[in-house]
A and B are shown apart, each in its own frame.
Chain A
């Protein structure tokens, strides 16, 4: 059996968790049709029944819901103990999760506790015996084939490496509730306070027909005025690289890529974005890409359909002026 740790938000299973289930289903099919189960830890904002229903459409056989006061606040070790208890009951030979910060953290705990290896950011599997996976290393510019010969085989699936697709036939998934004991030691490192996140406005970004992208080339948090104006002029949304969110220039819900949103607009206009594989994972399904970059050899330029070579702080205001001129 294959067990997938599923993360949820107000809408149910998050997209990257549904991708991990899709990956697990392909793996299960290659292994002769072994079942895929899901484990969810803590409160489910969308309601557990709705989640079970949703995961059934992804072919999940059973949803193991581990709940209780111990999981009210996030603690990596406690979550891992929850996953471990489900893995022990189900005797799963594979435990997978999405390559999110939470997914990677919980599975690293699990691997350490079980004394097995963990492969992070897997994009595909090569063979079952031996079980060999391919994963992203060196910031995505290199792939590593790694052998997972211990059981359980533990890995995370890189965000947007596969598309989340419902199963051909819907399954009537069952719900298994459990409330395992959690050791005091597993609760020592837990979140003691959380300031509510900025409202998640990524829905606009995901559905936009045009997305104006901004990367390190924006220069600073003050470097976005022209880019926002362009987004407004084309009736689109702003999307940014991880550098931009890490540096605190823009909020995380604007991030495009493996650990951000996946977009598929008619036109994507990445400005000052190099086009690292993790960014590309989020924008590769754009129909047209117009890259604006000072470096003609940047991967984003070579992968784009169209490009302008130049400083975005000169090119973008000129485009805005030209649009305004033609409109007046």
Chain B
């Protein structure tokens, strides 16, 4: 039986045009909408799978503003059964602050008799891309950490985690409790169903305040890269463009044998 905690972060959907807030401190999400990273979607899926395979449970946690409850509800709709919301202005929290707050949640849950054996996070957040909250969390808790794997399973009090690395397809076997950070690609995240969403609405979310004042990120400001002028020559649309393309290939001399 493994009780898994998965950490998700509400971020602005940056697949379209990205706009910054006037103070240059964050990405403006008013028009773009919000999401979590692909890595975290896979982490949620793995948490639910490990819970099902071991007869344990999957819980979700986020630190963010009041609206971050939306991301908790989505995780609840795909199989998590408990959720914790550390309500705070996330932009004032650096990676060390976030790690400390998640560690406080883990410790308090353990003290209340509802501890976690395994904490899953994304390899990196889709906005700040700090690549470190999971590792810092492990040091806060004094637990081992496996970084950047695509699959996890739990058996006999150990977690088996594997993913591709420079030495090939690498496997780690680590005793629980442990922290593991997930890279997308190992599992297909399921989508919330209507009954799933209905069920998620009924779950009472644990609301908390941060345990300490944040030291803050070391951000000076955000900038958008300068726009590049385009001088692309459009050769045509669809299959009809083929002759123009082959003309170009001939002109560049790449067709000669």
Seen from chain A, the residues whose Cβ lies within 8 Å of a Cβ on chain B are 7, 9, 74, 76-77, 100-102, 104-105, 108-109, 111-113, 117-121, 132, 134, 136-139, 141-149, 156, 185, 188-197, 209-210, 233-236, 246-248, 252, 266-267, 277, 288, 290-291, 296, 301-311, 314-315, 317-319, 321-323, 326
Do A266 and B252 contact each other (CB < 8 Å), given the known contacts A112-B132, A309-B237?
A: yes
Question: Given the complex of chains A and B, what is the CA–CA distance between A259 and B124 in angstroms?
Answer: 14
Q: List 29 A-B contacts (CB under 8 A).
A: A76-B135, A77-B145, A104-B132, A108-B147, A117-B94, A134-B223, A136-B129, A137-B127, A138-B27, A141-B14, A142-B14, A142-B224, A144-B219, A144-B220, A145-B219, A145-B220, A148-B218, A189-B172, A191-B167, A191-B171, A195-B168, A195-B169, A303-B232, A305-B231, A305-B233, A308-B234, A310-B239, A317-B239, A322-B242
Inter-chain contact B135/A308, CB cutoff 8 Å: no
Other A-B pairs, 18, CB within 8 Å; known A108-B132, A117-B96, A194-B165: A112-B139, A120-B124, A139-B126, A142-B14, A142-B27, A142-B225, A145-B221, A148-B218, A185-B144, A188-B175, A189-B144, A194-B169, A195-B168, A234-B254, A235-B254, A267-B254, A306-B233, A306-B248
Contact residue among A192, A195, A296, A301 (Cβ-Cβ distance under 8 Å from B173): A192
Q: Is B164 an interface residue (CB 8 A)?
A: yes
> What are the residues of chain A within 8 A of B221 when measuring CB–CB?
144-145
Question: Given the complex of chains A and B, what is the CA–CA distance between A193 and B171 in angstroms?
Answer: 5
With both beta carbons as reference points, the residue of chain B lying nearest to A99 in the complex is identified as B131
Contact residue among B14, B131, B172, B242 (Cβ-Cβ distance under 8 Å from A318): B242
Do A323 and B255 contact each other (CB < 8 Å), given the known contacts A108-B136, A142-B27, A195-B168?
A: yes
Question: Given the complex of chains A and B, what is the CA–CA distance between A111 and B223 in angstroms?
Answer: 25
With both beta carbons as reference points, the residue of chain B lying nearest to A234 in the complex is identified as B254
Q: Is B174 an interface residue (CB 8 A)?
A: yes
Inter-chain contact A189/B146, CB cutoff 8 Å: yes
Which secondary structure dominates chain B's binding surface?
A: mixed
Question: Given the complex of chains A and B, what is the CA–CA distance between A301 and B146 in angstroms?
Answer: 39
Contact residue among B222, B237, B244 (Cβ-Cβ distance under 8 Å from A310): B237
Contact residue among A113, A132, A234 (Cβ-Cβ distance under 8 Å from B249): A234
Do A315 and B27 contact each other (CB < 8 Å), given the known contacts A76-B135, A137-B128?
A: no
Inter-chain contact B245/A322, CB cutoff 8 Å: yes
Question: Given the complex of chains A and B, what is the CA–CA distance between A108 and B146 in angstroms?
Answer: 12
Question: Given the complex of chains A and B, what is the CA–CA distance between A149 and B216 in angstroms?
Answer: 13
> What are the residues of chain A within 8 A of B95 when measuring CB–CB?
117-118
Question: Given the complex of chains A and B, what is the CA–CA distance between A293 and B232 in angstroms?
Answer: 13
Contact residue among B27, B145, B217, B245 (Cβ-Cβ distance under 8 Å from A189): B145
> What are the residues of chain B within 8 A of A304 when measuring CB–CB?
232
Inter-chain contact B228/A308, CB cutoff 8 Å: no
Nearest 3 CB-CB pairs, A to B? Answer: A318-B239, A197-B168, A318-B242
> What are the residues of chain B within 8 A of A236 when measuring CB–CB?
254
- Chain A CB within 10 Å — which of B128, B165, B233 has the most? B165
Could you count the A-B residue pairs with CB atoms below 8 Å apart for me: how many are there?
Answer: 233
Nearest CB in chain B: distance from A65 CB, A: 18
Inter-chain contact B239/A314, CB cutoff 8 Å: yes
Inter-chain contact B228/A142, CB cutoff 8 Å: no
> What are the residues of chain B within 8 A of A136 when measuring CB–CB?
129
Inter-chain contact B228/A101, CB cutoff 8 Å: no
With both beta carbons as reference points, the residue of chain A lying nearest to B220 in the complex is identified as A145
Inter-chain contact B130/A308, CB cutoff 8 Å: no
With both beta carbons as reference points, the residue of chain B lying nearest to A191 in the complex is identified as B170
Nearest CB in chain A: distance from B181 CB, A: 9
With both beta carbons as reference points, the residue of chain A lying nearest to B215 in the complex is identified as A117
Inter-chain contact B237/A7, CB cutoff 8 Å: no
> What are the residues of chain A within 8 A of B171 when measuring CB–CB?
191-194
Nearest CB in chain A: distance from B184 CB, A: 6
Do A310 and B233 contact each other (CB < 8 Å), given the known contacts A105-B148, A108-B131, A138-B27?
A: no
Q: Is B114 an interface residue (CB 8 A)?
A: no
Nearest CB in chain B: distance from A117 CB, A: 5
Inter-chain contact B242/A319, CB cutoff 8 Å: yes
